[in-house]
Amino acid sequence: MTQQKTWRVGVAGLGTVGAGLLTFLAEHPDFAPAGGRASVTGVSARSRSRPRPFDISGLPWFDDPVALATSAETDVFVELIGGSDGPAKAAVEAALSAGKPVVTANKALIAEHGAELAALAESKGAPLLFEAAVMGGVPAVKMVREALVGDEIKSVAGILNGTCNYILTEMEATGRAFAEVLAEAQRLGYAEADPTMDVGGFDAAHKISILAALAFGCAPNYAAAEIEGIAGVELLDIQLARDLGYRIKLVASADRSPDGVLVRVHPSLAPLAHPLAQAGGALNALFIEGRRTGRIFVQGPGAGAGPTAAAVAADLADVMAGAVRPVFQAPAASLSPFTPVDPSKSIGRAYLRLSVKDEPGVIAAVSETLAEAGVSIESFLQKLVENASGVPIVLTTHAVAESVLKAAIERIASLPAVLDRPRLLRIARI
Ligand code: HSE
């Protein structure tokens, strides 16, 4: 019988995912899907003494993740530190420069520096794998990069941030405002102490930028993403959208057209029966539209120790199997950033909420202004809200170019009977 190779794994970052990985490997010493076995032979984290649900006293400790990444005792480097720069980037670069395979869950690093890291990895013949960076336990990265390489993907779109999805779901279910639900999510440990990356839409933007690169065979272009988070989503909009037959979700999308690629993250309305509207709580969900395959829909846990550690373990299995393929579907040397499409040219349906004085002629003035601007109304709802300063009227439009819609909003905002800036939300195109 041939001896199985033991791969010595250095793990930097012992937060939720690191803890999940160490627990998994400790409980499954026989994890050898590709013949080899993985054994953690070194760890690094910010604090050695922080209480943890597992014992690291028997493992070699490295204060400096770069030293762990380049140690002669490390065959594979697993980066679970996080952050687009700083120690995570330094350690990944050091491991790749030394020709060592790298597995990471770091979406910010891959979205912002993926092209240069891919070039480094490929020049050294070292795999750089990041299944856990997008949708946690759902194998979105492998699906787009590998399983769908025989198709031409036209678009990817979905819910890529569990924290935002949880907050929006709770707001609707309990009738509480954003700030209150966020504070509770932080108390329960569902949201980070600094929630900016999640609620600001940046985490979802990192993930959709990675999916866009994999789907369209280009370098990630995070800087080109148009990003709006959920902090401005009001309970009133959630309730009015529901009255109109929609649910508000933070939707991240990447669409390819002959003009280039449009990457956006926005709170968007999905029809109540739509699979995206049905994906509640912390679930992630994704639609992929291929020219030959048609539509694919996947849904599952986008975060958490177990699912994310499973994704890291799947990448370790690829390393042990010796699978080396281009980091972003096409070789790094042939990757260029995609051409961003001007979002003002995009065409879609919209939801507009206005707060108006309750007096004769207001609705006529609003619809006349929209008609003059070339925006066609699809549905209209006026609702009496007690204790509100004005009366909310809400309408949905037929498909219209964003530049036309924005110009119409400016004109509406200047009508004397309109009390606040109109609230614009897009209606999801999927
Ligand atoms: N913070 C992310 C989320 C999980 O809420 O979905 C890690 O990407």
Work out whether strand 391-397 and strand 347-348 pair parallel, antiparallel, or are unpaired: unpaired
3-state secondary structure at position 191:
coil
What's the gap in Å between 224 CA and the centre of ligand 1? 21
What's the gap in Å between 204 CA and the centre of ligand 1? 8
Query: For residues 315 and 191, is the Cβ–Cβ distance under 8 A?
Result: no
Rounded distance, CA 274 to CA 277, Å? 5
Q: Is 204 in the pocket of ligand 1 (CB under 6 A)?
A: no
Atom of ligand 1 nearest to the CA of 166: 5
Q: Is 229 in the pocket of ligand 1 (CB under 6 A)?
A: no
Rounded distance, CA 166 to CA 313, Å? 26
What's the gap in Å between 212 CA and the centre of ligand 1? 18
Query: What architecture is domain 6-133?
Result: 3-Layer(aba) Sandwich (3.40)
Question: Which of 89, 100, 107, 207 is the catalytic position?
Answer: 207
Q: Is 112 in the pocket of ligand 1 (CB under 6 A)?
A: no
Atom of ligand 1 nearest to the CA of 284: 6
What is the pLDDT at residue 25? 93
What is the pLDDT at residue 389? 72
107 is catalytic: no
What's the gap in Å between 398 CA and the centre of ligand 1? 33
Closest residue CA from atom 2 of ligand 1: 161
Q: Which residue of 197, 203, 207 sits with most ligand 1 atoms within 8 Å of its CB, as the best mutation to test the pocket?
A: 203
Mean pLDDT by runs of 10 across the 430 residues of the chain is 81 94 91 87 94 89 98 97 96 98 98 97 97 96 94 97 97 97 89 92 98 95 96 95 96 94 97 97 97 96 92 96 88 88 92 92 93 94 73 94 96 94 93
3-state secondary structure at position 115:
helix
What is the pLDDT at residue 3? 64
- The domain 344-427 having CATH identifier 2.40.30.10: the answer here is no
> 140-301: what fold?
Dihydrodipicolinate Reductase; domain 2 (3.30.360)
What is the pLDDT at residue 202? 98
User: Which residues have C-beta within 8 Å of that of residue 302, sequence separation ≥ 6?
Assistant: 135, 136, 137, 138, 159, 160, 161, 162, 282, 283, 284
Rg of the chain on CA atoms, in Å: 24
Sequence spans of domains, the chain = 6-133, 140-301, 344-427
What is the pLDDT at residue 387? 61
CATH fold match for the domains 6-133 and 140-301: no
For the entire predicted model, the pTM comes to: 0.95
Q: Which residue of 161, 192, 202, 284 sits with most ligand 1 atoms within 8 Å of its CB, as the best mutation to test the pocket?
A: 161
Query: For residues 261 and 338, is the Cβ–Cβ distance under 8 A?
Result: yes
